[in-house]
Chains A and B, each alone.
Chain A
Amino acid sequence: MADILEIKHLFVEYYKRKKVVSALRDVCLNLKQQEILGVVGESGCGKSTLALSILKLILPTEGKITKGEIIFKGYELWEEDYLGDKNIISMGDDSLRKIRGGEIGMIFQDPFTSFNPVFTIGEQIYESLVLHRVGKDLNTYSAIHKEAINSLKRVMIASPQQVMNSYPHQLSGGMLQRAMIAMAISCRPKVLIADEPTTALDVTLQKEILDLLKKLQQELSMSLILITHNLAIVAEICTRIVVIYAGEIIEEAGSEEIFCRPRHPYTIRLLGSLPYLKPEGKRLVVIPGTIPDLIDLPVGCKFYPRCDEASDTCLQKINMKEVNKGHFVRCCRVKEEIDGLY
């Protein structure tokens, strides 16, 4: 499948008390049509920053994209004779607004605070529909209303009319997250970004929401970027996985490949620290240390201080290299390990 979104050498910085926090460095990523891409990493590694950057949602008071390109290739107008800017970062406000919500939808972590408390769910869904579909395929109030109801039905809400008339505080977390998904898909985006969609929810709800996302991705033939720190989630539904550490992509491969043959020491340890069902007295394996300070980063490999296999070669600049077809790793020792381990 062709790429629908391409991120090239993206650098993002935040500013905290005049200090520069380097949140993302040299992130290159491509999203294929109709694939489910998992972005995995621990808290503070830059996952959410990546999600926000794609829609240029980083507040100018907090930080900015300093370098890089984000090319969206799915816009109908662009297929043949579009000559304007396809780069989301440098695009004008009007085009950007058409992409936001219309072409790329987004679901946030905490459904309780992501809806505006003073408007009903219905009003907030209407707003999206009016922005992106009035003038195209919806032109009457009743058509908009019907479409909003349809969206809610798609996310398996049993009483859509009642949910439409409710204010966010009147609904449960699971219901709200469904409504959030309904709002995001109501304008038929080609890409859906889900930023930790189940983190704020009950564990029992997680699977329902994930199954729902997978179902919708297939029904509406969208591409899905699933951002999470939960490896079990990505294992279940993602086709391809990207592991981020301290603002850099350190490993990228197909889902099966990464779980069966992880190459980067960090990924190996991350998978090693998953809790087992039958612990039999074994202690949970942990990765010693914490992620490096993003204000004052170590040179060379960012995982170097926590890695047991580190050597002097890790202190130079390390590039991504392909170790298998479609499997990229940012580690200087990876070649040696291939022979040693496999």
Chain B
Amino acid sequence: MIPLIIGISLISFIILHLAPGSPVDSVAGMNIEVSADSKSRLCSLYGLDKPWYIQYYNWLKRIIFLDFGDSFKDGRKVRTKILERLPATLLLNVLSLFLIFLIALPIGIKSAVKQGSFFDKGMTVFTFVGFSIPTFWLALLLMILFGVKLGWLPISGMHSLNYENFSFLGKLWDLVKHLILPVFCSAFGGLAYLSRYSRYTMLEVIRQNYIRTARAKGLPEKDVIYRHALRNALIPIVTLLGLSLPGLISGGFIFETIFAWPGMGRLGYLAIMSYDYPLIMGVGIIAAFLTLAGNLIADFIYLCIDPRVKYK
């Protein structure tokens, strides 16, 4: 895992430096009043005058002590900046992931069990639509409908302006109102995908011989489905769960930007736009770490739920 992280960070570092433009340009490039002298001073201040491998080495040395460096933009610690964005991202994504699994799994199971029924056909249409709709477009449409036309829901941010004046319940309600659209939009695509995927794995499982054996034993249909079939169908779904872990924290760049949600995704987006190297690397490395951790966790869950998988 450690070599992988080093590899990933090295490649992202190189790509970052290959990209045209530099932090100095983004601050002073267009300003004719900034002299070449002060530009080079800025360069050495950020450590950008050294070759990229020295810069990488220095970055690596700091990262070992979990020091992500200071943001170029406002000089604040990258770690602090990330930590203050984390709760908002976690809230949004845990909710949407929870919603995806809560809704998609039963839909998938029911579609598979009643294959070819009206419900199944309806859900097939829904997933087709869900796959095809660009979710950022859907997000904009929903903002127009609920935010602008009907005025029921706020269209951006996490709190209203007068948030501080509300009572505790009022604050909670305000938060919920702000959450509805972003959570729905970020869950929408996943919902279509996971319900289709769980329908497929369930269909695969209920055709197996051991399901017939379970029925031949005299088990009631609900035990056949929820005990014998589901346990097996969940195995591939766990992989998906593991792989969606990094998304929980790195956040959705698109949705957080559209809804001006103060989370990690928006932080990363803004960092990229302003050549904030330490911040980009910080967000990137956390995403990389979580991806690897997600895989590892999925493997561990496998170990628990599939007796055929053994740790060697």
Contacts and interface: CB of A to CB of B under 8 A. Distances in A.
Interface of A: 52, 55, 57, 61, 93, 97-102, 105-106, 108, 110, 113-120, 127-128, 131-132, 167, 169, 180, 183
A159 B263 CA distance: 59
Contacts of A52: 212
A13 to B, nearest CB: 17
Closest 4 CB pairs of A and B: A101-B218, A100-B218, A101-B217, A113-B209
Contact of A113 (B210, B214, B219, B228): B210
B161 interface: no
B115 interface: yes
Nearest to B209: A113
B162 to A, nearest CB: 54
Contacts of B221: 93
B50 interface: no
Interface string B212-241: 111111111100000010011001000000
A61 B116 contact: yes
Given A115-B210, A117-B308, A118-B305, A97 B218 contact: yes
Given A118-B306, A167-B308, A127 B217 contact: yes
A55 to B, nearest CB: 6
A118 B209 contact: no
Contact of A116 (B116, B220, B228, B235): B228
Interface of A (DSSP majority class):
mixed
Contacts, number: 74
A131 B217 contact: yes
Size category of the binding interface on chain B = 20 to 34
Contacts of A167: 307-308
B218 A116 contact: no
B208 interface: yes
Contacts of A169: 307-308
B302 to A, nearest CB: 11
Contacts of B305: 118
B217 A183 contact: yes
Contact of B218 (A108, A115, A131): A131
A118 B216 contact: no
Contacts of B212: 52, 57, 108, 114
26 contacts: A93-B221, A98-B218, A101-B216, A101-B218, A108-B213, A110-B209, A113-B208, A113-B210, A114-B210, A114-B212, A114-B213, A115-B210, A116-B232, A117-B210, A117-B232, A117-B307, A117-B308, A118-B232, A118-B235, A119-B228, A128-B218, A131-B217, A131-B218, A132-B218, A167-B307, A169-B308
Nearest to B205: A116
B113 to A, nearest CB: 10
A114 B216 CA distance: 11
A52 B40 CA distance: 83
Nearest to B235: A118
Nearest to A115: B210
Nearest to A97: B218
A125 B209 CA distance: 16
A116 B214 contact: yes
A26 to B, nearest CB: 25
Contacts of B218: 97-102, 128, 131-132
B213 to A, nearest CB: 5
A169 B232 CA distance: 14
A167 B306 CA distance: 10
A276 B243 CA distance: 60
B72 to A, nearest CB: 52
Nearest to B206: A59
Nearest to B234: A118
Given A108-B213, A118-B306, A97 B232 contact: no
Contacts of A118: 231-232, 235, 305-307
Contact of B115 (A57, A61, A98): A61
A194 to B, nearest CB: 12
Contacts of B307: 117-118, 120, 167, 169
A58 B304 CA distance: 33
Contacts of A100: 215-218
A313 B83 CA distance: 90
A214 B115 CA distance: 41
A41 B217 CA distance: 26
Contacts of A108: 209, 212-213, 216
Contacts of A98: 218
